[in-house]
């Protein structure tokens, strides 16, 4: 429930008290709004008094009579415009003067309420203004979030790419200056580390590409019947070089016949991320157990690891963009913090769900449930 402040500026006491009475128990609710609006009414009898209240209380809505003693309604509008205040104004007009209406609209009024008005006329005008205010707030929030994501995107990119580039440059300079010896074999260590750094940069770039590819809609024309067992086997092959380095054993158990209708690209993003995380955040010599099972309507994939685990607190934000757990154990593991947020978005496109169980120090289980045949779009 949000309260909008309404200021009524009119020299007729009857109008002011009428507005107060009508709006005091009025509530605006729309199915698309996630909050209801109620109203708190403030009254001013002159333009000067109105300006004082505007400066002090910053109303959201102004109901403004044009014909006032002293400073006129259009004068108050001008004041608001000059101070660049964000107040939605409806003019209360006793007679329809086109000239005043044009000037008031030019000066920022967005609605007109004829005088005298019925309670219903006032309510429908206030309802319109409330909708406008709500949409403005939502748009503002979306712009801000968009900007925040773009900013995080750039800072992650520059930070995550700078470190491996510096390392690579250092190793190449060592070789150029022959610091470890004359022979290429003297540099095996540096070459291996360079390749590892390049692999890190490559996976970061892949994550960013997936992230920018994320759609708000599924591409239904790309959906086809897929065998999940085959797709997961392919993902395991992709991750295998890293698993060998970590001496992590990956086991796959496919039960029943897990056929799903989906876009293979989407499924690959899900499997690659979950399986590579299970290896990346594992312990040296650990295990990853993957099972694929079916129920009547769903295919269920579970990826279980014997890794470092995730605390309850970190689990809460696990699927948020750029979220990475910062700890002694993760400090040398490269990543963008985007993988799981992408995975969750895709799963939601298919009306599926993802759940995580985890015990710090013991391991984690990620379980994905996807409908075998997702609903087609309306």
Q: Which of 306, 328, 331 is nearest to 246 (CA)?
A: 306
The reply on whether position 210 binds ligand ADP by CB under 6 A is no
Q: Which of 51, 176, 59, 174 is nearest to 126 (CA)?
A: 59
Judged by DSSP in three states, 166 sits in helix
Place of tokens 């008031």: 104
Cβ–Cβ < 8 Å for 152, 322: yes
Shortest Å, Cβ 335 to ligand ADP: 3
Out of 42, 307, 352, 370, name the contact with ligand ADP by CB under 6 A: 307
- Toward ligand ADP, which CB reaches closer, 223 or 310? 310
Residues 241-280 that bind ligand ADP (CB under 6 A): 273, 277-278
Cβ–Cβ < 8 Å for 167, 198: no
The reply on whether position 317 binds ligand ADP by CB under 6 A is no
Judged by DSSP in three states, 61 sits in strand
Out of 77, 88, 310, 349, name the contact with ligand ADP by CB under 6 A: 310
- Toward ligand ADP, which CB reaches closer, 157 or 323? 323
Out of 8, 77, 260, 308, name the contact with ligand ADP by CB under 6 A: 308
User: What is the chain's percent helix, strand, coil content, to nearest 5?
Assistant: 50, 20, 30
From the list 76-84, 222-230, 293-301, 306-314, the region that binds ligand ADP by CB under 6 A is 306-314
From the list 100-108, 150-158, 245-253, 302-310, the region that binds ligand ADP by CB under 6 A is 302-310
Cα 272–273–277 angle (5° rounding)?
115
- Return d(Cα 203, Cα 195) in angstroms, integer: 12
The reply on whether position 305 binds ligand ADP by CB under 6 A is yes
- Toward ligand ADP, which CB reaches closer, 104 or 338? 338
The reply on whether position 318 binds ligand ADP by CB under 6 A is yes
- Return d(Cα 130, Cα 37) in angstroms, integer: 7
- Toward ligand ADP, which CB reaches closer, 107 or 305? 305
Shortest Å, Cβ 337 to ligand ADP: 4
- Return d(Cα 97, Cα 105) in angstroms, integer: 12
The reply on whether position 364 binds ligand ADP by CB under 6 A is yes
Contact pattern from residue 324 through residue 363 relative to ligand ADP, giving x for each residue in contact according to CB under 6 A and a dash for the rest: xx----x----xxxxxxx----------------------
Shortest Å, Cβ 286 to ligand ADP: 10
Q: Is residue 47 packed enough to be buried (19+ CB in 10 Å), middle (13-18) or exposed (0-12)? A: buried
Contact pattern from residue 14 through residue 53 relative to ligand ADP, giving x for each residue in contact according to CB under 6 A and a dash for the rest: ----------------------------------------
- Return d(Cα 340, Cα 101) in angstroms, integer: 55
Cβ–Cβ < 8 Å for 265, 302: no
From the list 229-237, 248-256, 292-300, 318-326, the region that binds ligand ADP by CB under 6 A is 318-326
For the stretch 335-346, what's the b/e string if a residue is b when 16 or more beta carbons lie within 10 angstroms of its beta carbon?
bbbbbbbbbbbb
Binding footprint of ligand ADP on the chain (CB under 6 A) = 273, 277-278, 281, 305, 307-310, 318, 323-325, 330, 335-341, 364
């Amino acid at each position: 429930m949000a309260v909008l402040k309404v200021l009524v500026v009119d020299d007729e006491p009857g109008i002011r008290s009428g507005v107060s009475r009508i709006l005091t128990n009025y509530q605006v609710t729309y199915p698309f709004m996630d909050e209801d609006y109620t109203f708190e009414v403030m009254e001013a009898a002159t333009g000067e008094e109105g300006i004082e209240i505007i400066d002090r209380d910053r109303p959201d809505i102004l109901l403004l009579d044009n014909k006032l003693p002293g400073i006129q309604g259009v004068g108050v509008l001008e004041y608001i415009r000059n101070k660049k205040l964000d107040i939605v104004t409806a003019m209360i007009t006793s007679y329809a003067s086109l000239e005043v209406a044009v000037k008031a609209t030019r000066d920022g009024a967005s609605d007109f309420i004829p005088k005298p008005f019925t309670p219903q006329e006032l309510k429908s005008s206030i309802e319109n203004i409330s909708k406008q205010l709500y949409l403005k707030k939502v748009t503002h929030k979306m712009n801000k979030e968009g900007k925040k994501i773009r900013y995080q995107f750039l800072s992650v990119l520059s930070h995550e790419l700078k470190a491996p580039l510096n390392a690579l440059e250092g190793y190449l300079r060592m070789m150029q200056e022959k610091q470890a010896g004359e022979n290429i074999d003297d540099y095996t260590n540096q070459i291996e580390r360079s390749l590892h750094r390049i692999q890190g940069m490559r996976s970061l770039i892949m994550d960013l590409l997936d992230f920018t590819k994320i759609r708000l809609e599924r591409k239904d024309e790309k959906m086809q019947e897929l065998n999940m067992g085959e797709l997961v086997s392919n993902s395991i092959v992709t991750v295998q070089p890293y698993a060998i380095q970590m001496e992590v054993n990956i086991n796959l158990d496919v039960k029943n016949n897990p056929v799903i209708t989906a876009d293979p690209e989407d499924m690959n993003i899900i499997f690659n991320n979950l399986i590579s995380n299970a290896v990346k955040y594992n312990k040296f010599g650990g295990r990853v157990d993957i099972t694929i099972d079916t129920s009547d309507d769903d295919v269920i994939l579970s990826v279980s690891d014997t890794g470092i685990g995730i605390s309850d607190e970190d689990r809460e934000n696990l699927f948020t963009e750029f979220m990475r757990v910062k700890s002694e154990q993760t400090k040398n593991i490269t990543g963008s913090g985007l993988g799981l947020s992408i995975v969750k978005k895709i799963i939601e496109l298919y009306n599926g769900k993802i759940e995580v169980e985890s015990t710090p120090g013991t391991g984690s289980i990620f379980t994905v449930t996807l409908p075998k045949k997702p609903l087609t779009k309306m």
